[in-house]
């Protein structure tokens, strides 16, 4: 099954709970929370208080993507606030075994992410230990960017590695995912689609955006 993960970075924060509930009713399967520290990426975004506020508002899993230099400092607070999974970057934790084990020891799911300039083969030693591999399809830091054209080939290579080492591992893509690129990403092997601008800025509203994306990707 293909999962749609609306990224609340693009939501109207004055109506955040309402908009998340709209996407849930339309069939979204999780909520993606982008966390930026102004160091690993040139922007700042939300903290654990946002997860804490959303937790009673939705039954969907809350997935926290840590685009930060020191994820180990942030993970306990986000899990305490109600996150169901955390994703951190191999660029800042090149030996992630201890942190993966720590998250799993808290009975939460854990994922690894890489930026477009890192080879997907960097995932290979860790695929047996994680729940999700996130292949960025833009350079992180800002919403609304265009999907990098070379991404489908990277997704295909990562899918082959996952099938070899841990077929249960999800392959998530994030960046420039809209109603056209979602189809290309799924054809290449992605099964979780993070979509922000294309969902929350959709002219007919976020619920219509989720329903249309689900229709297109089957």
Which residue in this structure is represented by tokens 């099938």? Answer: 163
34 in catalytic set: yes
pTM of the model: 0.96
> What is the C-alpha to C-alpha distance for residues 109 and 164, in angstroms, rounded to an integer?
21
Q: What is the pLDDT of residue 144?
A: 77
Q: Which long-range contacts (CB under 8 A, 24 or more apart) does 53-59 make?
A: 53/16, 53/17, 54/8, 54/16, 54/17, 54/20, 54/82, 55/81, 55/82, 57/17, 57/20, 57/21, 58/17, 58/20, 58/21, 58/24, 58/31, 59/24
Give the list of residues 6+ apart from residue 130 with CB closer than 8 angstroms, or none. 100, 110, 111, 112, 166, 169
Count of CA atoms in the C-beta half-sphere (13 A) of 189: 20
> What is the C-alpha to C-alpha distance for residues 124 and 201, in angstroms, rounded to an integer?
36
Number of residues written out for the chain: 218
Q: What is the pLDDT of residue 42?
A: 84
Count of CA atoms in the C-beta half-sphere (13 A) of 12: 12
12 in catalytic set: no
> What is the C-alpha to C-alpha distance for residues 113 and 141, in angstroms, rounded to an integer?
14
From first to last of its 218 residues, what are the pLDDT tens digits of the chain? 999 999 999 999 999 999 999 999 999 999 999 999 989 998 888 999 999 999 999 999 999 999 999 999 999 999 999 999 999 999 999 999 999 999 999 999 999 999 999 999 999 999 999 999 999 999 987 777 899 999 999 999 999 999 999 999 999 999 999 999 999 999 999 999 999 999 999 999 999 999 999 999 98
Q: What is the pLDDT of residue 141?
A: 79
- Helices 206-217 and 181-188 sit at what angle, rounded to 10 degrees? 40
- Taking alpha carbons only, the member of 173, 167, 176 closest to residue 186 is 173
Q: What is the pLDDT of residue 130?
A: 98
Q: Identify the active-site residue in 37, 131, 174, 178.
A: 174
> What is the C-alpha to C-alpha distance for residues 175 and 148, in angstroms, rounded to an integer?
8
Q: What is the pLDDT of residue 145?
A: 84
Which residue in this structure is represented by tokens 């749609």? Answer: 4
The answer to whether 146 and 117 have CB atoms below 8 angstroms apart is: no
Residues forming beta bridges with residue 35, ordered by sequence position: 66
> How many CB atoms are closer than 10 A to CB 176?
24
Q: Identify the active-site residue in 12, 34, 129, 131.
A: 34
């Amino acid at each position: 099954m293909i999962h749609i993960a609306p990224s609340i970075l693009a939501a109207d924060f004055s109506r955040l709970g309402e908009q998340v509930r709209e996407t849930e009713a339309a069939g979204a399967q999780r909520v993606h929370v982008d966390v930026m520290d102004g160091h690993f990426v040139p922007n700042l975004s939300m903290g654990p208080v946002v997860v804490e506020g959303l937790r009673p508002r939705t039954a969907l899993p809350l997935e926290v993507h840590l685009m930060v230099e020191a994820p180990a400092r942030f993970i306990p607070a986000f899990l305490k606030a109600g996150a169901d999974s955390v994703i951190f970057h191999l660029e800042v934790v090149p030996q992630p075994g201890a942190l993966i084990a720590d998250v799993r020891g808290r009975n939460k799911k854990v994922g690894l992410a890489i930026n477009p300039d890192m080879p997907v083969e960097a995932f290979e030693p860790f695929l047996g230990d994680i729940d999700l591999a996130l292949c960025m399809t833009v350079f992180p830091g800002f919403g609304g960017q265009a999907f990098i054209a070379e991404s489908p080939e990277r997704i295909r290579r990562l899918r082959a590695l996952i099938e070899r080492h841990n077929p249960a591992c999800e392959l998530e893509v994030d960046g420039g995912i809209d109603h056209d690129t979602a189809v290309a990403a799924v054809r290449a092997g992605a099964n979780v689609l993070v979509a922000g601008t294309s969902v929350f800025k959709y002219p007919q509203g976020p619920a219509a955006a989720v329903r249309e994306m689900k229709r297109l990707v089957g």
